[in-house]
């Protein structure tokens, strides 16, 4: 029996249970919108995987209803999966002008930019999608021009905070969370709030950009040598601070690294970065200035092997060398998987005589995500009936849902959803969890999407662990004798010169097996070779390589 | 011309430039001692490597001088490499009774325990090694019975702190740093101090065990369900605190995990752990008690795949299931490379309804290494003429050497040595850096020591990245025609069923190459197959597998 009550359905495809992969779908009547379309970077054990994207089948199955794709802001975990969705759907993309410029440049790399309909929106703008309308509210985040959303449905109102923090002492009036806008939108009552859970484990308030800029300013004031700065290349506001400080302290700015150069060009063209042409100097002419007249903006905040800072640390940069007196400011977070790569770079910089400041030892970076007090402030502004934490691993969701209860949400209405668990809300403020839909982490390896599954990854892990041994054997079908071999080739197993005797012993084992297997039983021969050689290598070396017998009968 | 002044020489073989691998050699006249003999755990990119040990050639070349091996405490990065040294040298090992018990059990695994001479020492004991004498002073660390060393040489005195912290409010009088002992030893003047640099980036003082125990006690007092505790299995003092709290709050203790059980047995036998037999219950009978009558001590503080906590989180433990109301205390540090594995376990525990407390959200772990104020206190106690920071990555050494200058060491005498850089000090307080000696990270993979070098690792990395493709081709030597093949086998490359067409295309490429190479030029044929297939796979899939052509001419 169909339920005739008005309702809407929220279907999370990613981001509820992991940091990254943000993607959800909202359906109401004949309208459907998608909110964000992000990637996740693979964990270390996913050998060879470049990125992870959500499974889009749910969207594709009802793509005719898709009225628009709403992107809250321009980070990869919100825009990165668009190139894998857009060839299959036909819907306009709504976001800020800056975010759309980032999307356009990403789509250009995939030759998709000419086919998409990008529609810029402003803060406080309202866009109608039939049964759904979306209001855009500015939020402060670690990238400019982010939005939170106020969504109107016939059933009730929804607030989606996007990724946000609340800067109590903003440096300018553009990078501010529009709490007033959220409050006005929420005044008639909000049925459901979705909010950023990233930093729910952190007490108090995030450092503000004003505090960061003050720390940076103190450092600039005292510095007597060159200053080298790495940061997230999308953090335009931080770049502005660096450029302003360079101006104040009479330094020129040189840039090394494609992603930073691209984003500076893009934001200057669009008017998001205020900088006179004369402040910039090319890398090649840095040596024409005194050390205290130079700031360098560099890629490499995560110790990426090919980045400018890593090349400098390895003394492999084409245009420059680190020297005694250089001051390196790593004005960004260390992403956990990258810690070892980053600390290796830091150690090498010290060895070359540089001084290095980073988050752990100085206040030169702030998270872009609200801490607990800020999350409370947002909850108390919106006062939702239902609450669903988003953008977090499971433990973050649990803790954020508890925080919502502390802030006044009824316990039974502070829900934890996971990817693939749709929620339907009705006009009478009842709810229902619908049947789970299929969600998945789809692995992208080069041009292959989803073709590298667990069996292929398992093989890569085995190969990585102990390498492989190939055994070649040609058998003369007529005589049943060995025509050639056994020959043994290995990769990533042992240094063959050292272990010639061992590989000779392995050949004897193969010959022995051959003698004891009736002619023609190739499969049995292969199985026995594989089994016996693995046992042999385990015994003598305590290693377990992949053994591939290639037996040819001619 | 030989220098006739009295002198001693310090040669660091490991630990100066990395965390782990602690090992140094001290020579004076006819005597030589080794201080610590530790391993390092391999970084992620060292596929298949089990552990890393120092290169011992320097010791072996003068092993007749070796009068003793001094072990400061029982952590792996101080004792773990002994099994790879002891078969080749004949010298007694000096350490505390507890540390020697750990060493003995480790040597037993390698069948070496019967051949070594283990000599227990007490705090304040002095041992004579000819031209060198060593005084042992108790230090407080995250393992019991650690020592710092006061070393007498004809040239002057040396203080080696070992790994230490200074607990201002000790829980008992055994786990205390013997500052008085260090002060008395230092009174006549100390020529050289070597000190633990691990936490030089952390201000103030480390949390004390008293503070930890108080946090734990508060948690025990409130807990109404089962309490599950993970910790470093060598942290006997922390285990004692847990067992004492269990006693206080009327709970029984059950143990799951071999390393914890072993260390509890060992320390109870030696009298280091006070616990009545009646406090322990077997895992199988946990269900006979009320939830608030149970504490579990579990392995798995680092999210190790086969540990008890991980099995519980995956609902794969043989004897127990996690349930709503369970409280998990992870009373240990997250080692950076393990963060993702640990957080995965935490998320799963939350999903099963448990609550999880860990260092980030509550004060239930303390570092065993001195923070800056404690380092200063030690420096001011010892007042050395020369200072060499040890036990740290390069940046830690730099910062610790600066700290020493702040604490009164002359700038030109606060030195940074790296592994392989020997330092000679003379009786007149002059110094000389000797020629570098060969040091190396030796990789242990199974039973192979040092045989897996960079070329084999490089092959493993390539195999891990994109897998491999084997091309088989048998050529009839007489006719010059193909007798069999080409056959293509892949591992870790693509899911073959999906890519049958691609592998067919690859075969055509191989046939094409074969047609265009003069008969008999096998090597050229192989090179061309490898090159062309790599280009082909890069073009169609953007992947670059290892291609192994097996061409047989019969």
Q: Which residue of A has its CA nearest to B43?
A: A340
Comparison of pLDDT for B110 and B360, the residue scoring more: B110
Question: Mutate which of B448, B472, B479, B498 to test chain A, going by most A C-beta atoms within 10 A?
Answer: B448
The reported pLDDT for the residue numbered B361 is 65
Residue in A348, A464, A498 closest to B463 by CB: A464
Asked if residue B314 belongs to a domain, the reply is yes
According to the annotation, is B498 in a ligand binding site?
A: no
The reported pLDDT for the residue numbered B362 is 72
Q: Average pLDDT in the B273-282 region?
A: 94
Question: Mutate which of A48, A417, A479, A542 to test chain B, going by most B C-beta atoms within 10 A?
Answer: A48
Same domain for A308 and A180, yes or no, is: no
Least confident of A127-131, A518-522, B1-5, B225-229: B1-5
Q: Report the alpha-carbon distance of residue A166 to residue A179 in Å, rounded.
A: 9
According to the annotation, is B391 in a ligand binding site?
A: yes
Same domain for A30 and A176, yes or no, is: yes
CB-CB neighbours of A521 under 10 Å: 11
Q: 3-class DSSP state for residue B394? A: helix
CB-CB neighbours of B314 under 10 Å: 14
Same domain for B310 and B161, yes or no, is: no
According to the annotation, is B367 in a ligand binding site?
A: yes
Test A543 with B446 for CB contact under 8 angstroms: yes
Residue in B529, B527, B524, B502 with CA at minimum distance from that of residue B513: B529
Asked if residue B257 belongs to a domain, the reply is no
List CB contacts (< 8 A) between A343 and chain B: 393, 395
Q: Give all strands of the β-sheet with B423-426 in edge-to-edge order.
A: B118-120, B93-95, B66-70, B31-35, B23-28, B7-14, B423-426, B431-433
Residue in A365, A309, A316 with CA at minimum distance from that of residue A341: A309
Test B456 with A554 for CB contact under 8 angstroms: no
Q: What is the mean pLDDT of chain A?
A: 92
Q: Is the pLDDT of residue A281 over 50?
A: yes
Q: What are the strands, taking DSSP E only, across B227-291?
A: 227-230, 252-256
pLDDT in tens, A165-196: 998 888 887 889 999 999 999 999 999 999 99
CATH assignment of the domain containing B328: 3.40.50.10710
Residue in A398, A448, A489 closest to B350 by CB: A398
Q: Average pLDDT in the A109-134 region?
A: 94
Contact B417, B425 (CB under 8 A): no
Same domain for A41 and A131, yes or no, is: yes
Taking the alpha carbons of A380, A386, A392, A394 in that order, is the dihedral positive or negative? positive
Q: What is the mean pLDDT of chain B?
A: 92
The reported pLDDT for the residue numbered A361 is 65
- Place A1 in a pLDDT band, splitting at 50, 70 and 90: very low
Chain B: give the shortest CA distance to residue A142, in Å. Answer: 23
The reported pLDDT for the residue numbered B335 is 84
Residue in B340, B465, B495 closest to A456 by CB: B495
List CB contacts (< 8 A) between B467 and chain A: 48, 456, 459-460, 463
The reported pLDDT for the residue numbered A180 is 96
In this prediction the pTM is 0.90
Residue where a domain stops, chosen among A415, A449, A483: A449
- Place A2 in a pLDDT band, splitting at 50, 70 and 90: low
Comparison of pLDDT for A413 and B207, the residue scoring more: A413
- Place B448 in a pLDDT band, splitting at 50, 70 and 90: confident
What residue numbers bound the domain in which A51 lies? 4-204+367-449
Q: Report the alpha-carbon distance of residue B159 to residue B193 in Å, rounded.
A: 5
Q: Report the alpha-carbon distance of residue B422 to residue A350 in Å, rounded.
A: 21
Residue B397 CA neighbour count, 13 Å, CB half = 26
CATH assignment of the domain containing A522: 3.10.20.580
Same domain for B149 and B32, yes or no, is: yes
**Judging by DSSP bridges, how do beta strands B66-70 and B423-426 pair with one another?**
unpaired
Same domain for A102 and A174, yes or no, is: yes
List CB contacts (< 8 A) between B452 and chain A: 494-495
Q: Average pLDDT in the B87-102 region?
A: 96
Q: Average pLDDT in the A351-363 region?
A: 86
Q: Report the alpha-carbon distance of residue B145 to residue B141 in Å, rounded.
A: 8
pLDDT in tens, B540-554: 888 888 898 888 887
The reported pLDDT for the residue numbered B462 is 85
Q: H or E stretch including A536?
A: helix A522-541
- Place A523 in a pLDDT band, splitting at 50, 70 and 90: confident
The set of residues, in sequence order, having a beta carbon less than 8 Å from that of B81 and lying 6+ positions away, is B21, B23, B37, B38, B39, B53, B54
Active-site amino acid positions of B: 196, 369
- Place B1 in a pLDDT band, splitting at 50, 70 and 90: very low
Does ipTM exceed 0.90?
no
The reported pLDDT for the residue numbered B521 is 83
Q: Average pLDDT in the B266-282 region?
A: 93
pLDDT in tens, A207-218: 888 999 999 999
Asked if residue A413 belongs to a domain, the reply is yes
Contact B159, B196 (CB under 8 A): no
Test B472 with A446 for CB contact under 8 angstroms: no
The reported pLDDT for the residue numbered B430 is 94
CB-CB neighbours of A142 under 10 Å: 26
Please state the domain count of chain B: 3
Q: Which two tokens stand for residue B135?
A: 């005084």
CATH assignment of the domain containing B135: 3.60.15.10
Q: Which two tokens stand for residue A266?
A: 């893009």
**Catalytic residue of the set A160, A369, A371, A441:** A369
Same domain for A88 and A214, yes or no, is: no
- Place B2 in a pLDDT band, splitting at 50, 70 and 90: low
Q: What DSSP designation does A140 have?
A: B
Test A361 with B398 for CB contact under 8 angstroms: no
According to the annotation, is B29 in a ligand binding site?
A: no
Residue where a domain stops, chosen among A358, A381, A409: A358
Same domain for B387 and B347, yes or no, is: no
Asked if residue B261 belongs to a domain, the reply is no
Share of residues in chain A with pLDDT > 70 (%)? 99
The dihedral over CA atoms of A158, A162, A165, A166, expressed in degrees to the nearest 10, equals -40
Same domain for B26 and B170, yes or no, is: yes
Test A546 with B491 for CB contact under 8 angstroms: yes
Comparison of pLDDT for B136 and B515, the residue scoring more: B136
The set of residues, in sequence order, having a beta carbon less than 8 Å from that of B430 and lying 6+ positions away, is none
CB-CB neighbours of B269 under 10 Å: 10
According to the annotation, is A366 in a ligand binding site?
A: yes
Test B343 with A543 for CB contact under 8 angstroms: no
Q: Report the alpha-carbon distance of residue B441 to residue A433 in Å, rounded.
A: 56
Test B491 with A548 for CB contact under 8 angstroms: yes
Same domain for B135 and B226, yes or no, is: no
Comparison of pLDDT for A329 and A543, the residue scoring more: A329
Per the rule left: phi > 0, alpha: psi between -120 and 50, beta: everything else, B410 is: beta
Q: Which two tokens stand for residue B498?
A: 């999906």
Report residue B229: phi and psi, to 5°.
-120, 130
Residue in B356, B448, B463 closest to A463 by CB: B463
Chain A: give the shortest CA distance to residue B394, in Å. Answer: 5
DSSP A293-336: GEEEEES-TT--TTSHHHHHHTT--SS----TT-EEEE-S---G
The reported pLDDT for the residue numbered B157 is 97
Q: Report the alpha-carbon distance of residue B419 to residue B413 in Å, rounded.
A: 18
Same domain for B296 and B430, yes or no, is: no
Q: Is the pLDDT of residue A95 over 70?
A: yes
List CB contacts (< 8 A) between A540 and chain B: 447
Contact A39, A30 (CB under 8 A): no
Q: Is the pLDDT of residue A388 over 70?
A: yes
Question: Mutate which of B48, B50, B419, B479 to test chain A, going by most A C-beta atoms within 10 A?
Answer: B48
CB-CB neighbours of B173 under 10 Å: 7
According to the annotation, is A48 in a ligand binding site?
A: yes
List CB contacts (< 8 A) between B340 and chain A: 43-44, 336-337
Q: 3-class DSSP state for residue A468? A: strand
Asked if residue B423 belongs to a domain, the reply is yes
**Judging by DSSP bridges, how do beta strands A468-475 and A482-491 pair with one another?**
antiparallel
Chain B: give the shortest CA distance to residue A385, in Å. Answer: 24
Q: Report the alpha-carbon distance of residue B354 to residue B411 in Å, rounded.
A: 53
Q: Is the pLDDT of residue B268 over 90?
A: yes
Residue where a domain stops, chosen among A419, A449, A479: A449
Q: Is the pLDDT of residue B141 over 80?
A: yes
Same domain for B39 and B148, yes or no, is: yes
The reported pLDDT for the residue numbered A516 is 85
Q: Which residue of B has its CA nearest to A546?
A: B491
Residue in A333, A332, A326 with CA at minimum distance from that of residue A352: A326
According to the annotation, is A445 in a ligand binding site?
A: yes
Q: Is the pLDDT of residue A554 over 80?
A: no
Residue in B337, B395, B554 closest to A340 by CB: B337
Q: Which residue of A has its CA nearest to B398?
A: A350
Test B467 with A455 for CB contact under 8 angstroms: no
Asked if residue A274 belongs to a domain, the reply is no
Q: Report the alpha-carbon distance of residue B308 to residue A297 in Å, rounded.
A: 47
């Amino acid at each position: 029996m169909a339920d005739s009550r008005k309702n809407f359905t929220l279907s999370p495809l990613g981001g509820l249970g992991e940091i990254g992969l943000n993607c959800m779908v909202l359906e109401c009547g004949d309208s459907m919108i998608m909110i964000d379309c992000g990637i996740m970077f693979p964990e270390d054990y996913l050998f060879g995987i470049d990125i992870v994207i959500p499974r889009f089948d749910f969207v594709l199955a009802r793509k005719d209803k898709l009225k628009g794709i709403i992107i809250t802001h321009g980070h990869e975990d919100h825009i990165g999966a668009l190139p894998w969705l857009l060839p299959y759907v036909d819907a306009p993309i709504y976001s800020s002008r800056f975010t759309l410029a980032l999307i356009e440049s990403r789509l250009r790399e995939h030759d998709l930019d000419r086919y998409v309909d990008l529609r810029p929106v402003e803060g406080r703008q309202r866009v109608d999608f039939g049964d759904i309308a979306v209001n855009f509210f500015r939020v402060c985040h670690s990238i400019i021009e982010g939005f939170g959303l106020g969504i109107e449905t016939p059933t009730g109102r929804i607030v989606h905070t996007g990724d946000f923090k609340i800067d109590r002492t903003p440096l300018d009036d553009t990078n501010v969370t529009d709490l007033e806008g959220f409050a006005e939108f929420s005044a008639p009552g909000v049925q459901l709030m979705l909010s950023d859970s990233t930093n729910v484990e952190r007490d108090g308030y995030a450092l503000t950009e004003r505090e960061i800029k003050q720390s940076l300013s103190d450092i600039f004031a005292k510095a007597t040598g060159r200053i080298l700065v790495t940061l997230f290349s999308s953090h335009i506001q931080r770049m502005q601070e660096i450029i302003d400080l360079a101006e104040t302290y009479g330094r020129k700015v040189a840039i090394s690294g494609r992603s930073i150069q691209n984003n500076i060009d893009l934001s200057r063209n669009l008017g998001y970065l205020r900088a006179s042409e004369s402040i910039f100097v090319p890398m090649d002419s840095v040596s024409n200035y005194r050390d205290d007249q130079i700031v360098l903006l560099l890629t490499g905040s995560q110790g990426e092997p090919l980045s400018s800072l890593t090349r400098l640390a390895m003394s492999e940069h084409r245009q420059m060398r680190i020297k005694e007196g250089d001051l390196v400011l790593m004005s960004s977070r260390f992403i956990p998987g990258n810690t070892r790569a980053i600390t290796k770079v830091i150690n090498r910089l010290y060895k070359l005589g540089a001084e290095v400041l980073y988050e752990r030892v100085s206040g030169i970076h702030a998270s872009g995500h609200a801490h607990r007090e800020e999350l409370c402030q947002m909850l108390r502004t919106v006062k939702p009936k239902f609450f669903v934490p988003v953008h977090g691993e499971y433990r973050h969701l649990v803790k954020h849902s508890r925080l919502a209860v502390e802030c006044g949400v009824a316990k039974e209405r502070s829900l934890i959803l996971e990817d693939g668990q749709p929620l339907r809300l009705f006009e009478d403020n009842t709810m229902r969890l619908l049947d789970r839909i299929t969600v998945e982490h789809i692995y992208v390896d080069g041009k292959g999407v989803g073709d590298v599954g667990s069996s292929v990854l398992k093989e890569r892990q085995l190969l990585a662990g102990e390498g492989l041994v190939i055994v070649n054997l040609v058998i003369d079908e007529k005589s049943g004798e060995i025509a050639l071999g056994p020959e043994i080739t290995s990769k990533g197993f042992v240094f063959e010169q050292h272990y010639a005797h061992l590989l000779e012993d392995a050949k004897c084992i193969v010959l022995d097996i051959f003698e004891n297997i009736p002619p023609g039983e190739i499969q049995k021969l292969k199985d026995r070779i594989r089994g016996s050689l693995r046992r042999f290598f385990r015994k003598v070396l305590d290693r377990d390589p992949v053994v591939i017998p290639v037996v040819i009968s001619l």
